[in-house]
Structure 1
Amino acid sequence: MRRCWSCRRCCSLRCAARFVAVVVVVVVVLVLKPDLAPDAVNKALQRCTDRESKKLLQNLCHNYTRGLIAGPLCSPLCSKMTIIYEQCLGHGNKIALKARWTDRWIVLKASKESTMAYYVPWNRNDHTIIMTTNEVARWVYDFVVSEVNPYPIDMAFLHDRLLSNLVTKGGNYSRAAVESLWSVLQQGEFLKLFLLAGNKHIPDVYGWCGHMYAMEYTPIGDAFRRLKLRHTMSWKSRVKIGLSFLEMVRSFKETQYGELSLCDVQETNFGLRTSDFTVQAIDIDLALLPQTRSNFVSQAEKCTKDSECDFFDCVAYCNYKTNNCTSQMKSSNFQNFCHDIFKTKYFVNQGLLEEAPHNVAHELGEILTKCASVPPNSTVKFPETYYSDLYNRLHSLLSKESQ
């Protein structure tokens, strides 16, 4: 279904008109008040309030006290009250709330769709005890395997990270426990956070309560608010951040479940740990593992050009003979970072690696221009080593500049 794969396209004039109106407002703010732009734009688009955020948490805890939901975070959030709400970060397609849990900041997240209902993929009328531990283990294992196929999953890993957090009664799980686990597993970001635990470029996930899960809070660094860049970050600091992005490229290419493709590359989807300049991908809803990427390709309608095989920043080739989208990617994380993070994007944003010192400006500009480009179509392909050579050149240059 092209509507699923190419979901950025507006399907009506009304949608297009609304988009243009938003763009006009944003551009006016950016031009007239560039120093206020990020906060003003975020507030205008998010429209989230403390009142509705607190009400959401109250409803969550009310369902917990009624025995309708469960999870390892329910007690600290609703009973012990060691998780304290701080502020709303967003109420778009995903709810994001900043909170304090004893000595650390966390983000409570939930997909809007996941708040609609709790359900499990079987029909049971018993609202108390519904599944044995072995039944749940097999169900979770089969579900996760279907998401990462053909890469193997360790059952012990699933047990230690997921199932051991569920409270059992006589060797069984309650309906509330199983439905709550199901509701978070259905949220793609939670599953990827869980599977990629231990990767320093991925925030830690701490647990869940009902449909809401908690993850490590990593703030969006001022370096990613590119209008302010030249006033807030030294060149050497920006170089260190650039190196962290390159480390992320390598790290995501070599996960144990195949390459993780970031399909929504924009600065607000990355956080910065300032203590060591480590960049983290803090919003991976639109990050695809190979199996999910393959599923999207198989759903795509007939294509006549590569742009009809795109999913946000992830672009695949169109096979002109069969008019089908292929699983071969035209874009990559490295190419997207060069195009959307390192270089100037549009006329209002300042790229992370722009305005370099004169001694490296020419060479760096040449590398960024080349690595930001993609082949025009499937009949014109760059050599196999094209991007790897550019990656090595850029990494070498930035490593010298970081000294």
Structure 2
Amino acid sequence: MSEQVDCMARLKVRRILYAALLVFLLLIYLAVISNGRRRSAMMIVDALCQRYKEGKLSGSYCEKICSYENLKVFAHSTSNKAVIRIEISDERFLLKSAKQFFDQFDMVPEYISVPAFDNLLNDQIRSHTGLSLDDSLLGVKSIWPKKAMLTLADRRSIWALCSQEEYLNFKLLDFTGLFPKVIGTCGHMYAVPIVKAYTSQWPFLTSSSAADKFILTLQTLQYSHSEPLHWCDASSLNLGFSDDPEFPYLILDADMLYTQSGFGSLMAKMPCQHDSDCYFFDCKASCNRSAGWCSSHRLNSNVQVVCKKFLPWWYKMVASSNDRLVALCTRGSL
């Protein structure tokens, strides 16, 4: 009997040791990954500052980033694009870009005239939005506040920024209150405040005020612009808190958000035989079978997508009969 007890005790000790070893190895692995990401982030910032010192790029935050001795750099996440957390004294912000390095973007010609550059820039913005906007909303003034004559470094930095859909959304749709504000730029990278993101899978069930802000967010997407805005990568992890209680939730990652015209231009490039060929992440469009191309007609709505992804199936069973969230999701539209 005692031998059996001793055997079980030894087995238990082995299991504890194995578990401890696995935890230790996991911690080492996570530390290696974290250090690797931080080194990658440092390499991106170093390359950015090197190009700035060479006079190849410019921006309102370049001096702040490249001259501060005690700059702290952390990799928030880096893949093909870059999202880097920066700490300078008491200031913290994210540096973002669709590509990691300035040289990965197309460069504007060195001797391009100012009118030709403005035309290129306006075409780029129109290509993204799909809209023919008033000149007051287009051009350098809408995305680059600098007043003086633009240098070549300025033009190349502006062009790299305007090659990024998220940057254009943040700047051109800033009036909606749906996005973090761009607080500065350096070359191809733009700085935004660090916003507290949601960690809950169902962020809108925490309180009635949270549900009301959810509805306000959907209304803002639908009605704040001259055309509805299509959110094609809806995720609770992509939402953050706004400091203003009267404002909707903040969409933290907006590179797949489109105006109706922009969505139509995107879908028109997709060949199809059936509606199932016209899926773009969360957005579904119909197929124009006679033309063989996807149409601009969206088959699902932001409301349907968000309700499906964010509202658990059991919520309707426990919600009150006058629950606004359930009523909205039942209708499927605003």
What is the deviation of 1:213?
A: 1.0
For this pair of structures, how many residues does the alignment match? 303
CA shift digits 1:133-187 (9 cap, x unpaired): 555444323432343343413437645443442753xxxx332221111111001
Contact (CA 8 Å) 1:301, 1:324: kept in 2 or not?
Answer: yes
> What RMSD in Å do the two structures reach over aligned CA positions?
3.3
Aligned match of 2:84 in 89, 97, 110? 97
Matched ranges for 1:266-277 at <5 A: 266-273=235-242, 276=245
Distance 1:321 1:342, change over 3 A: same
CA shift digits 1:35-93 (9 cap, x unpaired): xxxxx9xx79x9762222122111111111111211122111112569x4453221123
Contact (CA 8 Å) 1:148, 1:257: kept in 2 or not?
Answer: no
Contact (CA 8 Å) 1:54, 1:85: kept in 2 or not?
Answer: no
Is 1:197 aligned to 2:174, yes or no?
yes
Q: TM-score, normalised by structure 2?
A: 0.77
State the one-letter code of the partner of 2:64. P
Distance 1:312 1:216, change over 3 A: same
Higher RCO (Cα < 8 Å, 6 or more apart)? 1
Is 1:370 aligned to 2:330, yes or no?
yes
Contact (CA 8 Å) 1:297, 1:309: kept in 2 or not?
Answer: yes
Aligned match of 2:260 in 273, 290, 296? 290
SS in 1 for 2:305: helix
State the one-letter code of the partner of 2:95. L
Which residue number corresponds to residue 162 of structure 2? 185
Distance 1:368 1:324, change over 3 A: same
Aligned-pair identity in percent equals 20
**Highest Rg: 1 or 2?**
2
Q: Which runs of 5+ in 1 are unaligned?
A: 1-39, 125-129, 345-353, 373-386, 389-403
Which residue number corresponds to residue 331 of structure 1? 300
Distance of 1:114 and 1:89 partners within structure 2: 16
SS in 2 for 1:213: strand
Is 1:343 aligned to 2:318, yes or no?
no
Aligned match of 1:109 in 91, 96, 99? 96
Distance of 2:300 and 2:83 partners within structure 1: 29
Distance of 1:275 and 1:297 partners within structure 2: 35
Which residue number corresponds to residue 27 of structure 1? none
Is 1:79 aligned to 2:60, yes or no?
no
Distance of 1:201 and 1:366 partners within structure 2: 23
Distance of 1:196 and 1:102 partners within structure 2: 31
Matched ranges for 1:219-234 at <5 A: 219-222=196-199, 224-226=200-202
State the one-letter code of the partner of 1:334. V
Which residue number corresponds to residue 212 of structure 1? 189
Distance 1:301 1:118, change over 3 A: closer
Q: TM-score, normalised by structure 1?
A: 0.65
